[in-house]
A and B are shown apart, each in its own frame.
Chain A
């Protein structure tokens, strides 16, 4: 038995508008970034690969396709807000975590079995939207930002040497802009047999815009400029995405740059009663 909650509720693919763009930039010959989205399951994934020759593309491509394919297969039939019996967590949380781990294992094994892929790895940032929330999983220095009202906030924290130095008080946020130690990630997908995925769950409000990006955006474009672009162009998401890429390229475009924008157009409450939901993951 299912109850429709009061108020306007939308199916996930109606509630979200998703736009993605990726560009190799002005300097690099390869695009080692990969992006994927699946509106029907409320999933967005972005990865920034690293490794010689085309190994970076291979790593980011594996990461994005493993996560997208696996979650796409599971979600039409299951409710991500349900409890996952195996882990005692919400299914959406465990799906995201387990599939990023699976991507890690795939890349690690590919790099061990094929010499041309030795040492390849990738960052990943992924969002799974359901039940008026977003589960965010990330590894490395690809970011998710949230524009709420006119405030832009990074809701992921880089796994990078620089971020660790900022956290430890060794360097100030202002000085970090001058650091020559950029692009040193302390955690990546596919480098070790196991990886810890950082997962957070955030409430989502109608009107929010979520931005997933590779460091080719946030290294080239200041947060203030990302913010004013999203505010000015929030009514035209494809234009906002193109504008962000263009700004990175106008500033030098020295890296691949990828963005995924997700605009929340309506509520998307999970289709089950609140009591069932409450009981679900508190039973353990």
Chain B
């Protein structure tokens, strides 16, 4: 259950160390939990602090420093398969066990009974993402490669369907005729606020148009929409606030 470190040198595994203590030290001196008798290793070189399922590596002002996955570091939040380098030695961090047994249990909230500290009243804030008036977009289903900092939970989520292919809305009539709008984000609003607005949402299984505001609802291929989202097909023609636009998939 506990995560572990696998000590190796030149590819040969030397020993495994389960991270069973809240704080484990790595160093040359024998009293370290992970003792590495080598002159390149400081007496007390580094420590690993484990809080439930999370482990943190920190350098204890060692002479020759630490690397994680080839990058020098002073402090690092260890992720599964990280490789800690100390001189010629490598310590691989393995924590691939799911914390709970079944997927349904995975995110169950648990209460910690330890007395809670009084939190400060300030709250976290995020700078505003200034979004366009007629075109508000949000990034959601980024491909995994674009989002290395994706939440662990999300990474393990069953990706039910691949993100839909790229799509475009091209204005067919009115002063903006010929203009194209690529639907690269998950949420794109079209129309004039206060008059008529519709939103195009990109979902795992396709693009949908939904009426947002205005007395008249948009029409697709001449059929006026209800309040429900309507899935768009290639070359559908949208009629919104007197302007016709064509939806089509790209490439």
Contact = CB atoms under 8 A, between A and B. Distances in A.
B109 A50 contact: yes
B119 A157 contact: yes
Contact of A236 (B137, B149, B151, B213): B213
B212 interface: yes
Contacts of A141: 109
B70 interface: no
Given A224-B138, A252-B153, 8 more contacts: A153-B125, A159-B116, A181-B53, A182-B153, A186-B112, A186-B116, A225-B140, A231-B136
Given A151-B127, A178-B152, A185 B112 contact: yes
A141 to B, nearest CB: 7
A272 B210 CA distance: 44
Q: Considering the complex of A and B, which 8 residue pairs feature the smallest CB-CB distances, nearest first?
A: A252-B157, A228-B138, A180-B53, A151-B128, A232-B136, A186-B116, A235-B213, A175-B77
Given A225-B138, A228-B136, A186 B129 contact: no
Contacts of A48: 109
B111 A170 contact: no
Contacts, number: 196
Contact of B54 (A174, A181, A220): A181
Interface of A: 27-29, 48, 50, 121, 123, 140-141, 149-157, 159, 161, 163-165, 167, 170-175, 177-188, 191-192, 196, 198, 200, 215, 219-225, 227-229, 231-233, 235-236, 239, 243, 246-247, 250-252, 254-255
A239 B210 contact: yes
Interface of B: 49, 51-54, 56, 77, 79, 95, 99, 103-104, 106-114, 116-131, 136-141, 149-154, 157-158, 185-187, 189, 193, 197, 199, 201, 203-204, 210-213, 227
Contacts of B111: 50, 121, 184-188, 191
Contacts of B212: 232-233, 235-236, 239
Contact of A161 (B104, B112, B186): B112
A225 B186 contact: yes
A211 B116 CA distance: 25
- Between A140, A220, A224, A231, the greatest number of chain B beta carbons within 10 A of the residue's beta carbon is seen for A231
A153 B119 contact: no
Contacts of A165: 51
Contacts of B79: 178
Nearest to A174: B149
24 contacts: A157-B120, A157-B123, A171-B56, A177-B149, A178-B77, A179-B53, A184-B109, A184-B111, A185-B112, A192-B113, A219-B107, A220-B153, A220-B154, A220-B157, A224-B129, A225-B186, A227-B129, A231-B136, A235-B193, A235-B213, A236-B212, A239-B199, A246-B201, A254-B103
B184 to A, nearest CB: 13
Contacts of B103: 27, 254
- Between A183, A223, A246, the greatest number of chain B beta carbons within 10 A of the residue's beta carbon is seen for A183
Contact of A163 (B49, B113, B119): B119
A69 B11 CA distance: 66
B78 to A, nearest CB: 10
A177 B106 CA distance: 16
- Between B128, B185, B204, B213, the greatest number of chain A beta carbons within 10 A of the residue's beta carbon is seen for B128
B109 to A, nearest CB: 4
Contacts of B131: 150, 228, 231-232
A175 B120 CA distance: 21
A178 B151 contact: yes
A159 B77 contact: no
Contacts of A233: 189, 199, 212
- Between A27, A172, A232, the greatest number of chain B beta carbons within 10 A of the residue's beta carbon is seen for A232
A150 to B, nearest CB: 4
A127 to B, nearest CB: 14
